[in-house]
């Protein structure tokens, strides 16, 4: 395996894989607690800094448009529940997707340090690791396993839709808005060819969602 290919694969995949792995360990050790969240945050941040940093793009080409995309996805994410209230229908709450409930205990919802760290993770860390994985790596890897030869934002129908569907599956009972968000973010990557623009759009969505969760007490959005 060529060194350059291995380094690129680690840079795009490792943060997301470590994030999921540490989360799984947390749920085994302390299934009803968020006390290990700071450890997860530090571990994943270290992987991003020491493994992924050379591959990161953090200067968006279209910042204003990316902010608008982020706002649009936030509205897509929250509007159906506000307008129609169908989230508890069996298509969205079942044994496969899980239930619409937060994993954050009530006592943690009142702890400033936790809320600050959770918001920082949602806004500054999650968009980086997810965009690296979904649109930086998977959407290209599905076109050619030697993904580093595929330019960012290259369109192939199968890669586009498989990535969108898998991105949706990551979001449990919010899978249908997750699918729409995945389509929008995939389209924005194809349009801009810029990982930084997708990271910015994703960060804006998560920042608005975090503010909405805390201001309106809508904790179920933080699964």
Low-confidence ranges of the chain (pLDDT < 70): 1-2, 31-33
| Residue 4 in domain | no
pLDDT score for 102 = 87
| Residue 17 in domain | no
pLDDT digits (tens, 9 = 90+) for 80-113: 998 888 998 999 999 999 989 888 888 889 899 9
| Residue 41 in domain | no
pLDDT digits (tens, 9 = 90+) for 23-50: 888 878 776 667 788 889 999 999 999 9
| Residue 31 in domain | no
- Concatenating the DSSP letter of every residue in 23-67 gives HHHHHHH-TT--TTHHHHHHHHHHHIIIIIGGG---S-SSHHHHH
pLDDT score for 30 = 72
Long-range contacts formed by 27-30: CB under 8 A, 24+ apart: none
pLDDT score for 28 = 80
pLDDT score for 220 = 93
| Residue 11 in domain | no
Long-range contacts formed by 96-102: CB under 8 A, 24+ apart: 97/172, 97/173, 97/175, 98/172, 98/173, 98/223, 99/173, 100/173, 100/174, 100/220, 101/220, 101/223, 102/219, 102/220, 102/221, 102/222, 102/223
| Residue 188 in domain | yes
Domain that holds residue 62: 58-221
pLDDT score for 188 = 98
Burial-class residue 102 by CB neighbours within 10 Å (0-12, 13-18, 19+).
Answer: middle
pLDDT score for 124 = 96
| Residue 91 in domain | yes
> What DSSP state is assigned to residue 134?
I
Q: What total of structural domains would you count in the chain?
A: 1
| Residue 145 in domain | yes
């Amino acid at each position: 395996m060529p060194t350059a290919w291995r380094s690129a694969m680690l840079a795009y995949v490792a943060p997301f894989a470590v994030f999921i792995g540490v989360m799984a360990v947390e749920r085994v050790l302390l299934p009803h607690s968020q006390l290990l969240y700071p450890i997860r945050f530090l571990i994943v941040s270290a992987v991003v800094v020491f493994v992924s940093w050379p591959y990161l793009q953090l200067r968006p080409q279209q910042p204003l448009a990316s902010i608008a995309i982020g706002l649009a996805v936030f509205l897509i994410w929250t509007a159906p529940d506000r307008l129609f209230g169908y989230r508890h229908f069996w298509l969205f709450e079942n044994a496969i997707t899980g239930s619409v409930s937060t994993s954050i205990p009530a006592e943690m919802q009142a702890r400033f340090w936790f809320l600050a760290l959770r918001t920082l993770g949602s806004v500054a860390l999650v968009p980086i690791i997810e965009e690296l994985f979904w649109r930086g790596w998977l959407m290209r890897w599905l076109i050619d396993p030697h993904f580093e030869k595929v330019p960012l934002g290259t369109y192939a129908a199968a890669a586009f839709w498989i990535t969108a569907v898998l991105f949706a599956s990551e979001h449990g009972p919010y899978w249908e808005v997750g699918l729409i968000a995945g389509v929008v973010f995939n389209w924005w990557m194809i349009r801009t060819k810029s990982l930084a623009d997708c990271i910015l759009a994703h960060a804006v969505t998560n920042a608005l969602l975090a503010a909405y969760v805390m201001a309106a007490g809508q904790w179920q959005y933080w699964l």
